Structure 1
Amino acid sequence: MIVDFRRNTPALPPLTIMNSTVPTVESFRFLGTTISQDLKWDTHIDSIIKKAQQRLYFLRQLRKFNLPQELLTHFYSAVIESVLCTSITVWFGSATKSDIGRLQRMVWTAERTIGAPLPTLQELYTSRVRKRALKITLDPSHPGHLLFDLLPSRRRYRAATIRTARHKNSFIPQAIYLLNS
């Protein structure tokens, strides 16, 4: 897969490894996350929605058996929310509003089925980014540790210079913003 955002992309020669040509693909599934060459997340979100819909069926079946709300909420957290939040710190910041809305509708459907309030995707994303950023700041051996630079006051982190929306919506600027707030 070739990720290249230049306006005039040059024709690249085919890649060969041990006399065999490696095919170029437009998307690739890596550790359960579908990455496309334009770094858009619609194919990944489509697969998340499909998995969540399949699991919502089981939630409805459990509701028919009159399980208590607490058990239904635990089932949702373990089975559906875990699917919705798989690698959320990677894709949520640059997902489109319509894709996030489609995912949030899955949460609302589960909310109606359970009959209890559930955390929104934005809340889940915020908590996971903050938790991951804190782990990085506390681990000096982490490759991203140096990206979290404290100001002389030692209370806030230095915000990086951002030139593009793609960079603004990526993990590090979002994490710095959440740690400073």
Structure 2
Amino acid sequence: MPVLTEKTAILSCPSTISAPALGTHEVRHVFRSINIRKAAGPDGVLGRVLKECAAELTDIFTLIFNISLSTSWVPACFKAANIVPIPKQSNVTCLNDYRPVALTSIPAKCLERLVIKHIKAAIPPSLDTYQFAYKENRSTEDAVAIVLHTLLKHLEGKNTYARLLFVDYSSAFKTIRPFKLRAKLHLLGLNTALCNWIADFLTNRTQSVRVGKHTSSTIAINTRAPQGCVLSPLLYTLHFTHDCFASSSSNLIVKFADDTTVLGLITNNNEVDYRSEVQHLLSWCHNNNLVLNKKTKEIIMDFRKNKQLNHQPLSIGAEVVERVTRGDCHGGPVLGSSHCLSCEQGPTTPLLPEETEKC
């Protein structure tokens, strides 16, 4: 893929191709599918109003939506958000333990759902085979299953073992750059006007933080895909993970959203491909403005009778990656016991505790 800058991104996306036109039946259907329990955004438009008055409001909103798409311009009220901090875990020790969830306009969410259909229709269905998030009939169980199947099949071979790197990115959704994303979407074959609409959707977004009855002042942002927007998960995968794949057949990279597992299938103690893969991943991260944080861990699965007791550590930059005996892969325990590093019972020892065989 060519190196993209904001300048080349703009030049590569001339707005000469007409935008997709939405029909009234599409808008009416998405209005009638609204979950009325969802909170309203800063505009105060309630989902109940749109759902119960769908017949009366469909025509005017169809016109608004089509004008927005044809001009590649998103109304300011569609880009406003109230940010509500939600704890990621029960024990909160710092601000990074909160997830900033955006409460956005419900009419905007409806438009996003319609845009998603056009995006999915335009991109290859086989894109990013090993990304298991945000896809129909895919779940964390599928991601775990492919890792375990590949791992166990490899360990049946002679003189084999495996290393698994559980990658954790720092604030991945905050690093999306609209113009670079627009160029990537253009190269994937997405409608040019829609590429420009998405770039506008992500720029000059206004937001304020709301905690209880208190609301902060409003600021404008030009990077990130807000967590809470319908489009954000798909845009994240198209911007980042679709071009993150293993460069060697002896490795596998499996993803669930921004949770990434690098599986190195090692034979005869040759770790060259695995270590090269990690360096390749670091280069990819650098090119995409992603940073690995200290939560990145590694597990070694070595059941050989004559195995090495002291495997060479893996380093990322100047930091040595912490080696653990239990790993969480894509929301579920994949390798769950202390025998992973020093198994004396051989490969027949279960990799998952009986009570957590299904993640």
TM-score by length of 2: 0.20
The answer to which structure has the higher helix fraction is 1
The answer to which structure has the higher strand fraction is 2
Larger radius of gyration: 2
Report which structure shows greater RCO (CA 8 Å, sep ≥6): 2
TM-score by length of 1: 0.32
